[in-house]
Amino acid sequence: MTEASTIRPGVGVPPADDVLLDVRHLKTYFKVMDGTVPAVDDISFSLKRGQTLGIVGESGSGKSVTALTIMRLLDIPPAEIGKESEAWFDGREVLGLPEGEMRRIRGNDMAMIFQEPLTSLNPVFTVGDQIAEQVQLHMKVKERESRDRAVEMLRLVGIPSPERRAKQYPHELSGGMRQRVMIGMALSCDPKLIIADEPTTALDVTVQAQIMELLRAIQERTGAALLLITHDLGVIAEMVENVIVMYAGQIVEQGTVEQVLLEPRMPYTMGLIESIPTVEKRGGRLSAISGVVPSPFHLPPNCRFEPRCPYRWETCRTVTPALYDAGDGRLSRCHLHLVEATARREAAIAAHDDNMRMGRRLTGAPDRIGNA
C-alpha cells in the first residue's frame, strides 16, 4: 500500500466540489500463477453528493473489485492498481493515501455493506460491541457513549428491542437482522458514501423488500450517496438514479436508470433485460445470451462481448470499441454507435423492442411512486 502512495504524487486535478466520488481510469489487476487477470480495466465514473449509482453485471464482471479497490481493501500483492488510476473521494485522492489516513476515512466517511452478513460479522463479539468498537475508533467518544450510539443505530435500522439485541451474537440473529446490523454499523459514523455490495442477494424476497425500503429511507434521511452493486436488475430499477453496466472488467453502458433499462443501446444490456422471465413471455422461449462470460485469461482481443453478440460484424473482431456517446449523456461501448453502422443500430434497437413487446410493453405513462 505504501508503495502505491509513493507512486502518485497527487496527479490530476481534484473534481468539482459537488462530486463526492470521482474514479478515473481505474485498473485493478491480479497477478496469479497462470498470468495476469485484468479484473477492472479502465473504469471512470463520478458520483455526486447524495446521489445513487448502481453497478450491475454478472459474476466475474469486476463490480465488487471496483468497490474493494476504492475502499482500498484489496491485498497488494496479489492485486495491483494501475499507475494512472485515480479515485477522488471528498476532495482527496484515496488510492495514494497512506494506510493510516485511509483507515480514518474508511468506515467513517466511506462505509461498506457486504453481501454475506454472517461472514462479515465477527462471531465472537456481540453485535453491540462490534458497532461500538467502530464508533469509538472513529468518533473519539467514551465507551458508554459508543454503546448508546450502537443501540441507537440498531433502533434506527428497525431492530426490535435494540437494548437486548445489542447483547446478542451474530448467530442469534436471522439473516435479515444481520443485514440490518451491517447497515447500522455502516451508518454509525454518518458516512458520506455508502457502498452496498449485493446487500439483498442472500435474503428472502420479503426481507429484501424490507432492507431496500430501509436503505432508501436512510439514504434519503441522511443524504449519503449510495453506490449499489448488484446483479439484480429489479433491485437496480428500484433503488438508483444512474447505472453502470459492467462486462468482463469494463463499463459497457452507462446512463440514467430509465435510459439503461428501458432503452438499452448495448447488445449485452439488451440481452440481459430480454432474458428476465416475465408473465408475457409464458409459453415461449426466453431470449438468452448465448455462450458464457469469457475467461479473464483469454479475453477476446477487441470487443469482449463479440463472441456472444448477436449483432456482431467484421469491425467488432478487428477494432477495439471505445465508450461511444450514444446521445443524452449516455455511453455505450459498441460499434453500433459508429456513424457507418446506423442501419445496423436501428435494426438492433428494433429487434430489442420487438423482443420486449412480447414481454413488457414499453408504452404508457410513467407511474413512479417511490423516491421519484
Partner 1 sequence: MTTTTGAAPVAEPEVRRRLRRLPPPAIRNGRALLLFIGGFGLTALFVVALGLVIGVKGAIAIIPWVAAITIPIAVVCWGLVRLTRNRQKWTLALVLLTDGAFIAILGYLIVTMSSRMGNPDATFFAQLILAFPFFVALASFWHFARGARWFDGTRESRLRPEESGARPITAALTMVPDTAPAAAVTITAPVPLGVEVLAGAAPPAPAPVAAVRPLLTVQGLKKHFPIYGGVLRRQIGTVFAVDGVDFEIMPGETFALVGESGCGKTTLGRTVIQLTPSTAGRVVFDGYELADVDPEDMRPLRRRMQIIFQDPFGSLNPRMPISDIIGEGLLAQGLTDRKARDGRVEDALELVGLRREYTRRYPHEFSGGQRQRIGVARALALGPDFIVADEPVSALDVSIQSQVLNLLLDLKRDLKLTYLFISHNLSVVQYFSDRVGVMYLGKIVEIGTVEQLYANPRHPYTVALLSAIPEADPRHRRKRLVLKGDVPSPAAPPAGCRFHTRCWLRERLGNPEDCSTVEPQLQVFGEEGHRVACHHAENLSQATVAQAAAEAPAVVAAAVEVE
Q: Which stretch binds partner 1 (CB under 8 A): 7-15, 81-89, 118-126, 159-167?
A: 159-167
If one asks whether residue 238 binds partner 1 (CB under 8 A), the answer comes out as yes
Give the DSSP letter of residue 320. P
| DSSP output for 6-64 | HH-SS-S----TTEEEEEEEEEEEEEETTEEEEEEEEEEEEEETT-EEEEE--TTSSHH
Nearer to partner 1, 108 or 242 (CB): 242
Beta strands in the chain (DSSP E): 19-32, 35-48, 52-56, 79-81, 86-89, 92-93, 110-113, 193-197, 225-230, 242-247, 250-256, 324-325, 331-332
Pattern 102-141, partner 1, x by CB under 8 A = ----------------------------------------
Interface residue with partner 1 among 149, 192, 281, 312 (CB under 8 A) is 281
Nearer to partner 1, 82 or 175 (CB): 175
Gyration radius from the chain CA atoms: 22
- Please count the other Cβ atoms lying within 10 Å of the Cβ belonging to residue 59: 9
Pairwise CA distance, residues 63 & 80, whole Å? 16
Pairwise CA distance, residues 219 & 193, whole Å? 10
The owner of cell 466517511 is 109
Q: Which stretch binds partner 1 (CB under 8 A): 81-89, 95-103, 131-139, 277-285?
A: 277-285
If one asks whether residue 277 binds partner 1 (CB under 8 A), the answer comes out as yes
Q: How many residues bind partner 1 (CB under 8 A)?
A: 65
**At its nearest, how many Å lie between partner 1 and the CB of residue 83?**
32
Interface residue with partner 1 among 293, 299, 349, 351 (CB under 8 A) is 293
Q: Which stretch binds partner 1 (CB under 8 A): 94-102, 113-121, 266-274, 344-352?
A: 266-274
Pairing of strands 110-113, 193-197: parallel
Interface residue with partner 1 among 38, 158, 249, 321 (CB under 8 A) is 158
If one asks whether residue 183 binds partner 1 (CB under 8 A), the answer comes out as no
If one asks whether residue 289 binds partner 1 (CB under 8 A), the answer comes out as yes
User: What angle do helix axes 175-187 and 143-156 make, rounded to 10 degrees?
Assistant: 130
Task: Please report, for the chain, how many H helices and E strands are present, in that order.
Answer: 14, 13
**For residues 193-222, which are near partner 1 according to CB under 8 A?**
204-210, 212-214, 216-217
Look up residue 233 and give its three cell numbers: 436488475
Interface residue with partner 1 among 286, 319, 347, 358 (CB under 8 A) is 286
Query: Kindly report the CA angle at 185 between 180 and 186, in degrees rounded to 5?
Result: 95
Q: How far is CA 2 from the centre of its chain?
A: 26
Pairwise CA distance, residues 54 & 237, whole Å? 9
The owner of cell 479497490 is 69
Interface residue with partner 1 among 10, 35, 291, 327 (CB under 8 A) is 291
**For residues 31-70, which are near partner 1 according to CB under 8 A?**
58-59
Nearer to partner 1, 122 or 278 (CB): 278
Q: Which stretch binds partner 1 (CB under 8 A): 7-15, 291-299, 318-326, 346-354?
A: 291-299
Nearer to partner 1, 23 or 37 (CB): 37
Interface residue with partner 1 among 39, 43, 111, 177 (CB under 8 A) is 177
If one asks whether residue 301 binds partner 1 (CB under 8 A), the answer comes out as no
**Residue 96 · residue 4 · CB < 8 Å:** yes
Residues of the shown chain interacting with partner 1 in the complex, contacts defined by CB under 8 A: 58-59, 156-161, 174-177, 180, 204-210, 212-214, 216-217, 231-238, 257-258, 261-262, 271-273, 275-279, 281-282, 285-293, 360, 364, 366-372
